[in-house]
Amino acid sequence: MKLSHYATIALFLNYVTTLFHLSDLHFGPKFNAHVSELVLQDICKTQPDLTILSGDLTMRGRVEEYEQARAYIDRIPKPVLTIPGNHDQPLYPGAMWERITTPWARYIQHIHAAVDTSFEMPGVFVVGMNDNRPILPGGFWSSEQRAWMENEFKRAECGACKVLVMHHQLNWSGKRRPLGQWFPNAHLDLLKRLGVELVLNGHMHIPITIRSEQGIVLAQAGTSMSTRLRHGHYNAYNLIKISTEEIQVQIMEHDPQRDKFLSHAEHVFPREKIN
């Protein structure tokens, strides 16, 4: 395999890319402003190469929630990559027609010009995809999105770690609520063919990291700053380090006694060797 310029430099310098992955901020009711400041302090301290927000920025997609989310994102050091979650489509009386006809107008106005987006940096290529639908619950990819994703990943430099960000979980098999991706195994097989090594998602409000049968690392972040906590987990975010050798996922969870985020678990997965 011929190495790209970026990959050669990364290999030579053994550069480690740091991703700060938070999800399910849920500006609106049950938002924990104090914890949101702790998260922001941690981002500034970490100085990641990229901060990723994997959806559910708001609770009901209200304009004031979007304005609060925008103000918070403006305080995060750039670059920042965001995708929407199922809660980012308006859901309240008087907004249902808008939800059906223009579900992402508010997201596009306040957060980012496109719901599907990508970001390239030395040694890592990130694709963010909107997997939400106005009526259909769970995560869904259209054929156009699959084709777009495939083309985006083709642009990745040889040797780059390909990362997919979406809101709903692939680690599901229909067993857990709330709903995850439709057709998770077919999606994983496609991602394997495309050479994707890491998938980031949120939605469950539970931090879980595993490696799938296809060898893809699935890192799900908990809710970073909502009080809608589940299964005994506190607020959490994922700190991800990618080198030419391995992918490391550190789950950072809020300790209410010490009032700071502490390492809750650490997972290390060797990457396939670059020849």
The C-alpha atoms of residue 239 and residue 247 are separated, in whole angstroms, by 11
For 131, the token pair is: 């997997």
CB nearer to Fe ion: pick between 24 and 157: 24
Rounded to a whole number of angstroms, the minimum distance from the CB of residue 137 to Fe ion is: 10
- Distance CA(13)–CA(86), nearest Å, equals 40
Distance in Å, CB of 26 to Fe ion, minimum: 6
Q: Which of residues 84-123 bind Fe ion (CB under 5 A)?
A: 85-86
Which runs of consecutive H residues, i.e. helices, occur in 47-195?
63-75, 96-101, 105-110, 143-154, 184-194
In angstroms, give the least distance from the CB of 55 to Fe ion. 6
- CB of 89 or CB of 118, closer to Fe ion: 89
Residue range at the interface with Fe ion (CB under 5 A); choices 5-13, 144-152, 203-211, 242-250: 203-211
Of 24, 65, 116, 197, the one binding Fe ion by CB under 5 A: 24
Position 203 contacts Fe ion (CB under 5 A): yes
Residue 3 vs 91, nearer CB to Fe ion: 91
Cβ 1 to Fe ion shortest distance, Å: 38
Question: 124-128 and 196-201: which strand pairing?
Answer: unpaired
User: Quick one: residue 105, left, alpha or beta (phi over 0 = left, psi -120 to 50 = alpha)?
Assistant: alpha
How many H-runs (helices) and E-runs (strands) does the chain carry? 7, 12
Q: Which of 56, 65, 152, 197 binds Fe ion (CB under 5 A)?
A: 56
Which residue, 31 or 153, is less far from Fe ion as judged by CB? 31
The least CB distance from residue 233 to Fe ion, in Å, is 13
Which residue stretch of 14-22, 146-154, 197-205, 232-240 sits at the interface with Fe ion (rule: CB under 5 A)? 197-205
C-beta of 87 vs 112, nearer to Fe ion: 87
- The answer for residues whose C-beta is within 8 angstroms of residue 200's C-beta and 6 or more apart is 19, 21, 52, 54, 163, 164, 165, 166, 219, 220, 221, 238, 240
Q: Taking Cα atoms as reference points, which of 218, 226, 213, 209 lies closest to residue 265?
A: 209
- State the CB neighbour count (10 A cutoff) for residue 66: 21
C-beta closer to Fe ion: residue 51 or 86: 86
Q: What is the CB neighbour count within 10 angstroms for residue 249?
A: 26
Region of 6-14, 16-24, 114-122, 145-153 interacting with Fe ion (CB under 5 A): 16-24
Q: Name the residue with tokens 């010009």.
A: 113
**Helix, strand, or coil (residue 31):** strand
User: In terms of CB distance, is 234 or 269 closer to Fe ion?
Assistant: 234
- Select the span of 1-9, 55-63, 70-78, 266-274 touching Fe ion (CB under 5 A): 55-63
Q: Interface residues for Fe ion in 212-271 (CB under 5 A)?
A: none
Interface positions with Fe ion (CB under 5 A) = 24, 56, 85-86, 203
